[in-house]
Protein backbone atom coordinates (compact mmCIF):
# COMPACT_ATOMS: atom_id res chain seq x y z
CA UNK A 1 0.00 0.00 0.00
CA UNK A 2 1.27 3.46 -0.89
CA UNK A 3 2.46 5.51 2.14
CA UNK A 4 0.96 3.06 4.64
CA UNK A 5 2.92 4.46 7.61
CA UNK A 6 1.76 8.00 6.88
CA UNK A 7 -1.84 6.87 6.47
CA UNK A 8 -1.70 5.11 9.84
CA UNK A 9 -0.27 8.26 11.41
CA UNK A 10 -3.21 10.31 10.13
CA UNK A 11 -5.63 7.88 11.79
CA UNK A 12 -3.62 7.92 15.03
CA UNK A 13 -3.86 11.71 15.22
CA UNK A 14 -7.56 11.72 14.31
CA UNK A 15 -8.27 9.39 17.24
CA UNK A 16 -6.14 11.49 19.61
CA UNK A 17 -7.95 14.66 18.54
CA UNK A 18 -11.31 13.02 19.13
CA UNK A 19 -10.22 11.67 22.54
CA UNK A 20 -9.27 15.24 23.53
CA UNK A 21 -12.79 16.31 22.47
CA UNK A 22 -11.44 18.77 19.92
CA UNK A 23 -13.93 17.50 17.32
CA UNK A 24 -17.42 16.00 17.55
CA UNK A 25 -18.57 13.04 15.45
CA UNK A 26 -16.88 13.00 12.02
CA UNK A 27 -15.96 16.69 11.92
CA UNK A 28 -12.45 18.03 11.51
CA UNK A 29 -9.80 16.73 9.11
CA UNK A 30 -6.15 15.77 9.31
CA UNK A 31 -3.30 15.31 6.87
CA UNK A 32 0.38 14.44 6.51
CA UNK A 33 2.66 15.41 3.63
CA UNK A 34 5.24 12.80 2.68
CA UNK A 35 8.58 14.58 2.40
CA UNK A 36 9.91 12.20 -0.25
CA UNK A 37 7.03 12.17 -2.74
CA UNK A 38 5.27 15.39 -1.78
CA UNK A 39 1.99 13.48 -1.71
CA UNK A 40 -0.61 14.23 0.98
CA UNK A 41 -2.44 11.62 3.06
CA UNK A 42 -5.78 13.02 4.27
CA UNK A 43 -8.80 11.74 6.16
CA UNK A 44 -11.87 10.70 4.14
CA UNK A 45 -15.07 12.72 4.15
CA UNK A 46 -17.74 11.86 6.71
CA UNK A 47 -16.34 8.60 8.12
CA UNK A 48 -16.18 7.78 11.83
CA UNK A 49 -12.58 7.85 12.99
CA UNK A 50 -12.64 4.64 15.09
CA UNK A 51 -13.72 2.72 11.98
CA UNK A 52 -10.91 3.96 9.73
CA UNK A 53 -8.45 1.59 8.12
CA UNK A 54 -5.24 2.64 6.35
CA UNK A 55 -6.85 2.18 2.95
CA UNK A 56 -9.62 4.65 3.88
CA UNK A 57 -7.10 7.50 4.06
CA UNK A 58 -6.81 9.11 0.62
CA UNK A 59 -3.54 10.10 -1.04
CA UNK A 60 -3.66 13.27 -3.15
CA UNK A 61 -1.10 15.51 -4.79
CA UNK A 62 -0.62 19.17 -3.87
CA UNK A 63 -3.33 20.15 -6.37
CA UNK A 64 -5.88 17.79 -4.72
CA UNK A 65 -5.77 15.20 -7.53
CA UNK A 66 -6.39 11.72 -6.11
CA UNK A 67 -3.31 9.51 -6.43
CA UNK A 68 -4.43 6.50 -4.40
CA UNK A 69 -7.45 5.45 -2.34
CA UNK A 70 -11.05 4.40 -2.79
CA UNK A 71 -12.63 7.02 -0.55
CA UNK A 72 -13.72 10.60 -1.22
CA UNK A 73 -11.20 12.83 0.60
CA UNK A 74 -12.20 15.46 3.15
CA UNK A 75 -14.17 18.40 1.78
CA UNK A 76 -11.40 20.60 3.19
CA UNK A 77 -8.74 19.00 0.98
CA UNK A 78 -8.41 22.28 -1.00
CA UNK A 79 -7.54 24.11 2.24
CA UNK A 80 -4.87 21.58 3.20
CA UNK A 81 -3.39 21.69 -0.30
CA UNK A 82 -3.39 25.51 -0.37
CA UNK A 83 -1.37 25.56 2.86
CA UNK A 84 1.09 22.93 1.61
CA UNK A 85 1.61 24.87 -1.63
CA UNK A 86 2.41 28.08 0.24
CA UNK A 87 4.31 26.59 3.18
CA UNK A 88 7.17 24.21 2.31
CA UNK A 89 7.97 24.05 6.05
CA UNK A 90 4.58 22.47 6.84
CA UNK A 91 4.18 18.67 6.69
CA UNK A 92 1.22 18.16 9.01
CA UNK A 93 -2.19 19.83 9.36
CA UNK A 94 -4.87 19.45 12.03
CA UNK A 95 -8.25 21.13 11.55
CA UNK A 96 -10.49 21.05 14.64
CA UNK A 97 -13.83 22.44 15.80
CA UNK A 98 -12.80 22.72 19.46
CA UNK A 99 -15.41 24.52 21.56
CA UNK A 100 -13.57 27.43 23.18
CA UNK A 101 -11.43 28.33 20.18
CA UNK A 102 -14.47 28.12 17.90
CA UNK A 103 -16.36 30.39 20.29
CA UNK A 104 -13.68 33.07 19.82
CA UNK A 105 -13.80 32.46 16.07
CA UNK A 106 -17.58 32.87 16.14
CA UNK A 107 -17.09 36.33 17.65
CA UNK A 108 -14.50 37.10 14.95
CA UNK A 109 -11.97 37.78 17.72
CA UNK A 110 -8.34 36.82 18.01
CA UNK A 111 -7.36 34.70 21.02
CA UNK A 112 -5.10 36.88 23.19
CA UNK A 113 -1.92 35.45 24.66
CA UNK A 114 -2.39 34.97 28.40
CA UNK A 115 -0.41 31.78 28.95
CA UNK A 116 3.27 31.05 28.47
CA UNK A 117 2.37 27.79 26.74
CA UNK A 118 0.49 29.64 23.99
CA UNK A 119 3.29 32.17 23.62
CA UNK A 120 5.93 29.43 23.50
CA UNK A 121 4.21 27.23 20.92
CA UNK A 122 2.40 29.78 18.76
CA UNK A 123 4.45 32.94 19.37
CA UNK A 124 1.59 35.44 19.57
CA UNK A 125 -2.14 35.98 19.44
CA UNK A 126 -4.20 33.64 17.26
CA UNK A 127 -5.82 35.73 14.53
CA UNK A 128 -9.21 35.05 12.95
CA UNK A 129 -9.61 34.71 9.19
CA UNK A 130 -12.87 36.08 7.69
CA UNK A 131 -15.82 33.74 7.18
CA UNK A 132 -15.94 31.70 3.99
CA UNK A 133 -18.17 28.66 3.29
CA UNK A 134 -16.78 25.31 4.41
CA UNK A 135 -15.16 23.23 1.72
CA UNK A 136 -14.88 26.18 -0.66
CA UNK A 137 -11.91 27.41 -2.64
CA UNK A 138 -12.54 30.79 -1.02
CA UNK A 139 -11.99 29.26 2.41
CA UNK A 140 -8.85 27.49 1.21
CA UNK A 141 -7.30 30.68 -0.12
CA UNK A 142 -8.41 32.87 2.80
CA UNK A 143 -7.23 30.43 5.48
CA UNK A 144 -3.82 29.93 3.87
CA UNK A 145 -3.42 33.68 3.36
CA UNK A 146 -4.27 34.54 6.97
CA UNK A 147 -2.10 31.76 8.34
CA UNK A 148 0.94 33.54 6.86
CA UNK A 149 4.08 32.17 8.55
CA UNK A 150 2.31 31.25 11.79
CA UNK A 151 1.30 27.81 13.05
CA UNK A 152 -2.35 28.49 13.90
CA UNK A 153 -5.25 30.56 12.58
CA UNK A 154 -8.93 30.70 13.57
CA UNK A 155 -11.59 30.29 10.88
CA UNK A 156 -14.58 32.57 11.56
CA UNK A 157 -17.72 30.65 12.62
CA UNK A 158 -15.91 27.41 11.87
CA UNK A 159 -12.91 26.27 13.91
CA UNK A 160 -9.13 26.09 14.06
CA UNK A 161 -6.43 25.37 11.49
CA UNK A 162 -3.18 24.23 13.12
CA UNK A 163 -0.03 23.28 11.22
CA UNK A 164 3.49 22.12 11.97
CA UNK A 165 6.66 20.66 10.50
CA UNK A 166 5.01 17.32 11.32
CA UNK A 167 1.51 16.32 12.35
CA UNK A 168 2.48 15.70 15.98
CA UNK A 169 3.46 19.35 16.35
CA UNK A 170 0.33 20.44 14.50
CA UNK A 171 -1.70 18.38 16.98
CA UNK A 172 0.13 19.94 19.95
CA UNK A 173 -0.56 23.41 18.56
CA UNK A 174 -4.28 22.62 18.26
CA UNK A 175 -4.39 21.38 21.87
CA UNK A 176 -2.53 24.41 23.24
CA UNK A 177 -4.71 26.85 21.29
CA UNK A 178 -7.85 25.30 22.75
CA UNK A 179 -6.36 25.53 26.24
CA UNK A 180 -5.37 29.16 25.61
CA UNK A 181 -8.89 29.93 24.37
CA UNK A 182 -10.39 28.35 27.50
CA UNK A 183 -8.09 30.31 29.83
CA UNK A 184 -8.85 33.56 27.96
CA UNK A 185 -12.59 32.95 28.22
CA UNK A 186 -12.50 32.35 31.98
CA UNK A 187 -10.04 35.19 32.58
CA UNK A 188 -12.40 37.57 30.81
CA UNK A 189 -15.18 36.55 33.22
CA UNK A 190 -12.99 37.02 36.29
CA UNK A 191 -11.49 40.42 35.60
CA UNK A 192 -9.14 42.41 33.39
CA UNK A 193 -7.02 40.16 31.18
CA UNK A 194 -3.25 40.66 31.43
CA UNK A 195 -1.69 39.95 28.07
CA UNK A 196 1.85 38.71 27.54
CA UNK A 197 3.58 41.47 25.49
CA UNK A 198 4.59 40.72 21.89
CA UNK A 199 8.29 40.94 22.61
CA UNK A 200 7.99 38.44 25.45
CA UNK A 201 5.97 36.13 23.18
CA UNK A 202 8.77 36.24 20.62
CA UNK A 203 11.40 35.59 23.30
CA UNK A 204 9.47 32.61 24.69
CA UNK A 205 8.94 31.21 21.19
CA UNK A 206 12.66 31.52 20.39
CA UNK A 207 13.62 29.97 23.74
CA UNK A 208 11.27 27.03 23.13
CA UNK A 209 12.63 26.35 19.64
CA UNK A 210 16.24 26.45 20.86
CA UNK A 211 16.03 24.77 24.26
CA UNK A 212 12.79 22.87 24.94
CA UNK A 213 12.63 19.08 24.67
CA UNK A 214 15.20 16.45 23.74
CA UNK A 215 17.41 17.52 20.87
Which amino acids are annotated catalytic? 76
Residue 158: Cβ within 10 Å count:
21
CA end-to-end distance (rounded Å), the chain = 32
Of 121, 181, 115, the residue nearest 151 (C-alpha): 121
Distance CA 198, CA 113 (A): 9
Q: In what order do the strands lie in the sheet with 66-68?
A: 66-68, 58-60, 40-42, 29-33, 92-96, 159-164, 152-155, 128-129
Query: Are 54 and 1 a contacting pair, CB within 8 Å?
Result: yes
Amino acid sequence: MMLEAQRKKVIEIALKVQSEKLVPLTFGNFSVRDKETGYICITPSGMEYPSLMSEDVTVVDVNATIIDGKRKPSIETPMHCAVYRKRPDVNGIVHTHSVFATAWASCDEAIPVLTEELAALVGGSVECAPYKPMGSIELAETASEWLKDKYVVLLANHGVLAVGPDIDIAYANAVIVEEGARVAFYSKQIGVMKFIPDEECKRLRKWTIERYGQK
